[in-house]
C-alpha cells in the first residue's frame, strides 16, 4: 500500500499534530510519511500576523503543495484555518477536540486576577487583547509572536510578567504543568475551532479523503461548525477581535460569542441555543448585528 504524504509546518506543535495523525492512520493499516513545509507565517516573525496574510499565512504553501500533488493531506490547528478554503481543497476530517481554553502563564505563578497592576502581558491576538482589557484594563499588553517554546522562553527571560497561550497546544507538548491559570472558556471565549485538529485534502482524491474520514469526530465537528459559521457571518478573521465557543447541551448546542472594536473597547457578548449548528450561529450573529456589532467592528 502506498504511503500517504502528510504536509505540515515544522514547529514542535505542528509536528506533534502531524505525527498524531500519522499514528492514527497507522491504526487503520495505512502507512504515512511527514513532509515539512516552511510557510510565510513561519518565515516572517517581525510583523503582525494580519500584515502577512492573516492566519492563512500558516497554510498557503502547504495548500499549494497539496494542489500540486506533492503531499496528499495536510494537518492543521483548526483555529488557523480560514473559513473559505482554496478551490479544490476540503476539510476531510475533524478530530476529537482537546481542551479549548486559553491558558495564562505568569512568571510568579499567579492567575489573571492576582497579577500586579500594570503587569506586562504578552499576546499578539486581538481576541485575547480584547478579553484581557475587559477583565483587567490596567494591564500593559505587548506583542508576542513565535512558537510555543519561543514565547515561554521570553516569559522566563523576564520580558513579560505573563503570557497567554492555548491550553491544547501546551498539553500536547507536555507543558501543561507550567500553566498558572486555565481561563474559563465561558467568559474568556476561545478562538473558533480552538483545540481541534483538522485534516485537509484534495476534493478529487476520494480514497485518501475516505480514509481520513474514518478519523472524523462528529460531536466536535458540530460544535466547531457553529463557531466557524458565526465567524463567517461576521466576516471575522485575525483582523477582528472575535471569540466563539459551542458546547453540547442535551440534544443541541449552546453557542457563546463576542466581538469587540479593534482596540478592544466596547466588547459585545451574546449566546444562543439550538439544534442545527449553522442556523444557531447565524441567529446569534444576527442578534449581535442588531445590537451594534458591525458598528463596533468598524464595518
Known catalytic membership, residue 80: yes
What count of Cα atoms within 13 Å lies in the side-chain half-sphere of residue 170? 22
Query: Which of 80, 102, 161, 205 is labelled catalytic?
Result: 80
DSSP, res 88: T
Tell me the residue ranges of DSSP E strands in 108-214: 120-122, 140-142, 162-166, 181-182, 197-202
From the number of C-beta atoms within 10 Å of its C-beta (0-12, 13-18, 19+), residue 26 rates as exposed
CA–CA distance, 59 with 226 (Å, rounded to integer): 22
Angle (CA) 60-21-146 rounded to 5° is 50
Query: Which single residue is written with the C-alpha cell 505525527?
Result: 19
Residues carrying an active site annotation? 80
Amino acid at each position: 500500500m502506498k504511503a500517504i504524504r502528510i504536509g505540515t509546518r515544522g514547529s514542535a506543535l505542528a509536528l506533534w499534530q502531524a505525527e498524531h495523525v500519522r499514528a492514527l492512520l497507522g491504526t487503520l493499516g495505512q502507512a504515512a510519511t511527514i513532509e515539512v513545509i516552511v510557510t510565510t507565517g513561519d518565515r516572517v516573525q517581525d510583523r503582525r500576523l494580519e500584515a502577512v496574510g492573516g492566519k492563512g499565512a500558516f497554510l498557503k504553501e502547504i495548500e499549494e503543495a497539496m494542489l500540486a500533488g506533492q503531499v496528499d493531506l495536510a494537518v492543521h490547528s483548526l483555529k488557523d484555518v480560514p473559513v473559505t478554503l482554496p478551490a479544490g481543497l476540503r476539510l476531510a476530517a475533524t478530530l476529537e477536540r482537546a481542551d479549548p481554553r486559553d491558558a495564562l502563564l505568569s512568571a510568579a505563578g499567579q492567575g489573571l486576577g492576582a497579577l500586579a497592576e500594570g503587569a506586562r502581558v504578552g499576546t499578539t491576538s486581538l481576541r485575547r487583547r480584547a478579553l484581557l482589557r475587559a477583565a483587567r484594563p490596567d494591564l500593559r499588553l505587548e506583542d508576542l509572536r513565535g512558537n510555543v517554546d519561543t514565547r515561554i522562553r521570553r516569559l522566563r527571560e523576564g520580558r513579560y510578567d505573563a503570557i497567554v497561550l492555548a491550553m491544547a497546544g501546551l498539553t500536547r507538548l507536555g507543558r501543561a504543568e507550567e500553566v498558572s491559570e486555565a481561563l474559563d472558556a465561558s467568559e474568556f471565549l476561545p478562538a473558533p475551532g480552538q483545540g481541534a485538529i483538522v485534516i485537509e485534502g484534495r476534493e478529487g482524491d476520494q480514497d485518501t479523503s475516505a480514509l481520513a474520514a474514518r478519523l472524523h469526530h462528529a460531536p466536535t465537528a458540530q460544535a466547531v461548525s457553529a463557531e466557524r459559521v458565526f465567524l463567517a457571518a461576521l466576516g471575522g478573521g485575525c483582523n477582528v477581535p472575535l471569540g466563539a465557543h459551542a458546547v453540547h447541551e442535551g440534544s443541541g448546542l449552546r453557542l457563546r460569542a463576542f466581538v469587540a472594536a479593534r482596540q478592544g473597547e466596547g466588547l459585545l457578548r451574546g449566546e444562543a441555543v439550538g439544534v442545527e449548528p449553522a442556523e444557531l450561529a447565524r441567529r446569534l450573529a444576527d442578534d449581535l448585528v442588531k445590537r451594534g456589532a458591525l458598528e463596533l467592528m468598524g464595518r
